[in-house]
Every structure is written in C-alpha cells, then in structure tokens.
Amino acid sequence: MEQGLAKYVRFFRLWIFIAAAWMAVAIPAGAQKKDKNKIPPPPDPAAEVKAAMLGPDSQIIDRTIGEALGYWQIGDIESLHKYYADDVVVVSGAWEPPVIGWDNFLKAYQAQRAQVTSARMDRTNTLIKVNGNSAWATYQFTYAAQMNGMVVQFRGHTTMCLGKLADRWVITLNHSSIVDSTTPEPTSSSGPSQPASKP
C-alpha cells in the first residue's frame, strides 16, 4: 500500500508541475493575444510637444531665449550677439521690411534703444519644439517703455527659429507681431511697469 501511495503522490506532483508549467505559458500568451486585438490610441500631438519640451535641448533653448531677452533689455550688445546668428532675419511688429544680418539688426536695435528708457519685456506661454539641430519657439510678450516722455505698452507674439552651432543654440529668425498696444500716456512716477491699459 505504501508503494501505491508513493506512486500516487509522484503522479500528483508531476501533474501539478505540468499544470503550473502550462499556466505559466498560457497566461502571458493569452494576455499578448488580448493586447494585439486592442487598437492603440492615436498619438496625442500635445503630449508629443510636451515630451519634446522636457528634453535637455528645450531647457537650453528656454534659457537661451531668457538670457537673450535679458541682454536685449540692458543693452549688452556683446553678450546679445552670442545668441544671434550672423545671418539672422528679424521681423518686427511694425510695418517695415525684415532686417537681415546681425549688423543691420544691431543698427535697428541701437536706433530703437536711443528713443526709449526703462524698457521692460516680459515673456509668457513659451512653447518650444526641437527637431535635431533645428528648433522653433513661440511665446507671448508684454513690452513697456518710456518713449519721448510717454509710457507705451505693447502685447504680442514672437516666434523664433533656432539652429544648433557646435554646442550652442542661436536665433536664426525672430518674428514678432503686435496684438495690442496702449495709447501713449504721460510718464508717471510709477514708471513703465504700471502703464494704463487700453480701454
């Protein structure tokens, strides 16, 4: 009887081992077959852009734009130049032809700067898309300054194209569009950061 019991236990163990092995193979195969029948959701363009914005190049470009705007505001043309390509194209929000090349941009910038004081530019809603060694960025801006004893304020959009030169990003196209502006008002003691808005 002991031999029959031992034989039965061995048979039962073998059966459990075979069943466990079969389940180990069958369950993942069934899950894979189930996943193959599912239709994947279409790619979300917003998610793709957000993923691209989180990459290191996007962060470098964001910092590049911020630093370029900082040097632009304080008038440091030596530092500003390192952020712009020599063959940059700049399209202003005014009705005028594009400015081509760093030297021409510098002349236009210095002529504008000679007419304003206490200029300030704030950037919001920046979106950056990187594609290899090229990228674009777009943002909204608010620009306020004192010009000829009056406070002026402009709101608009800027789109930039950038290229990677060696290990740094440079602006190759800077296009701004003015959406709204205020009527110039006499300068108050509060300065350009608090101009009255357009009615």
d(CA 81, CA 65): 12
CATH class of 47-186: alpha beta
Nearest to 46 by CA among 145, 146, 157, 129: 129
Give 53's contacts (C-beta < 8 A, 6+ positions apart).
Answer: 127, 128, 129
Average pLDDT for the chain: 80
Q: Which residue has the higher pLDDT, 147 or 102?
A: 102
pLDDT at site 24: 53
Share of the chain above pLDDT 90, in %: 53
Cα 161–Cα 162–Cα 163 angle in degrees, nearest 5: 135
d(CA 191, CA 151): 8
Average pLDDT in the 21-31 region?
53
Q: Which residue has the higher pLDDT, 136 or 20?
A: 136
Q: Which residue has the tokens 């031999």?
A: 3
> Is 31's pLDDT higher than 70?
no
Claim: this prediction has a pTM higher than 0.75: no
pLDDT at site 129: 96
pLDDT at site 199: 38
CB 170 within 8 A of CB 83: yes
CB 198 within 8 A of CB 190: no
pLDDT at site 94: 86
pLDDT at site 39: 72
Where in the chain are the domains?
1-40, 47-186
Query: Tell me: the pLDDT tens digits for 7-18?
Result: 554 555 544 555
pLDDT at site 116: 87
CB 138 within 8 A of CB 157: yes
d(CA 37, CA 112): 63
